[in-house]
Amino acid sequence: MNSNPKHIAMIMDGNGRWAKKRLLPRAVGHVKGAANVRSIVQGCTEHGVEFLTLFAFSTENWRRPEDEVSTLMDLFIQYLDKELVEMKEAGIRFRLIGERSAFMPSLQMRIEKAERETSQNTKLHLTVAANYGGQWDILRAMQLWLDANPNTPLPLMEPQALKNYLSTSDLPDPDLLIRTGGESRMSNFLLWQMAYTELYFTDTYWPEFDKVELERALEWFGKRVRRFGQTDEQVLAGN
Ligand code: FPP
């Protein structure tokens, strides 16, 4: 039985369908979804999870209708305004990964403030991926590596060396990915970082993914045998 994961990554999918099923506008689904973030962050701290990384907005999400994009940006601002005090009290360190320069200045300002004012916290590292894409992260890391190693040919780069240039360089790789909303894909999330992550997919829409559902995912994770390329026998022998 594995102990609880140290790092959980989540793709919070199904807000729109949750709303549609209730004949409500998609925006209502996002409002419910944002409210749910708080309860899942709490659930993670209760289970001793140290790192939680949430996919809030992908580089592809700009293609959504303008009013939906603006609802998501407003919700992000509201979340930071409402939760900063709570995060500070609860020992949560907030960080954002992704290309933040595309966000409106009022949002960028709040992100920087939240990062600054929670920078000394260690109980839970909450990382929000926004305007983030796994391919963007890998290409950016490669460029940074090439800038730092101008005379070394790329094939000589060790995978571990690239890790130091990814936007998650100071986070361990995720142990568990939870994706809600019934789809079984990675959607350009932490592609490099999830090479050995256990993948958990549930049909539950994100607004309904509560602490009980989280416990179910943790229980499933507890039963996984993590081989990291080895055989069952080697793992059992503790090699
Ligand atoms: C996927 O549902 C969800 C998103 C693209 C946005 C996730 C955002 C939140 C949960 C709210 C804001 C987050 C924070 C951290 C404050 P979907 O719209 O793709 O749903 P669908 O697949 O049912 O249409």
99-112 mean pLDDT: 97
Q: Does some domain include residue 140?
A: no
Would you say the C-alpha torsion 70, 72, 76, 78 has a positive or negative sign? positive
Q: Does some domain include residue 145?
A: no
Strands 92-97 and 7-11: unpaired
CATH number, domain of 79, equals 3.40.1180.10
Measured distance CA(178)–CA(9) in Å, rounded:
6
Q: Is the pLDDT of residue 4 over 70?
A: yes
Active site positions, annotated: 13, 61
Measured distance CA(6)–CA(172) in Å, rounded:
8
* DSSP state letters, the chain: -----SEEEEE---HHHHHHHTT--HHHHHHHHHHHHHHHHHHHHHTT--EEEEEEEETTGGGS-HHHHHHHHHHHHHHHHHHHHHHHHHTEEEEEES-GGGS-HHHHHHHHHHHHHTTT--SEEEEEEEEE-HHHHHHHHHHHHHHH-TTS-GGG--HHHHHTTSTTTTSPPPSEEEE-SS----TTSSTTTTTT-EEEE-SS-GGG--HHHHHHHHHHHHT----TTS-HHHHHTT-
pLDDT value, residue 154? 74
Going from the Cα of 118 to the center of ligand 1, the distance in angstroms, rounded, reads 24
69-96 mean pLDDT: 97
98 CB less than 6 Å from ligand 1? no
Highest mean pLDDT: which range of 47-56, 152-161, 223-232: 47-56
pLDDT tens digits, 194-237? 999 999 999 999 999 999 999 999 999 999 977 777 777 767 77
Q: Is the pLDDT of residue 1 over 80?
A: no
Atom of ligand 1 at shortest range from CA of 26: 18
Q: Is the pLDDT of residue 65 over 80?
A: yes
132 CB less than 6 Å from ligand 1? no
pLDDT value, residue 168? 98
CA distances for 52 relative to 138, 141, 159, angstroms: 20, 21, 23
183-196 mean pLDDT: 97
25-41 mean pLDDT: 97
Nearest to 204 by CA among 13, 23, 22: 13
pLDDT value, residue 157? 72
Atom of ligand 1 at shortest range from CA of 17: 23
Taking the CB of residue 92, how many other CB atoms lie within 10 A of it? 23
**Closest Cα to atom 5 of ligand 1:** 57
Q: Which domain holds residue 78?
A: 7-135+173-237
Q: Does some domain include residue 124?
A: yes
> Could you tell me the two tokens for 102?
């595309």
* Residue-averaged pLDDT of the chain: 94
Q: By percentage, how much of the chain surpasses pLDDT 90?
A: 86
Q: Does some domain include residue 30?
A: yes
pLDDT value, residue 226? 75
pLDDT value, residue 239? 62
Q: Is the pLDDT of residue 238 over 80?
A: no
Q: Does some domain include residue 56?
A: yes
Q: Does some domain include residue 166?
A: no
For residue 125, what are the β-bridge partners?
Answer: 51, 93
- How many domains, the chain? 1
Full-model pTM: 0.94
Q: Does some domain include residue 167?
A: no
Measured distance CA(205)–CA(127) in Å, rounded:
21
Q: Does some domain include residue 74?
A: yes
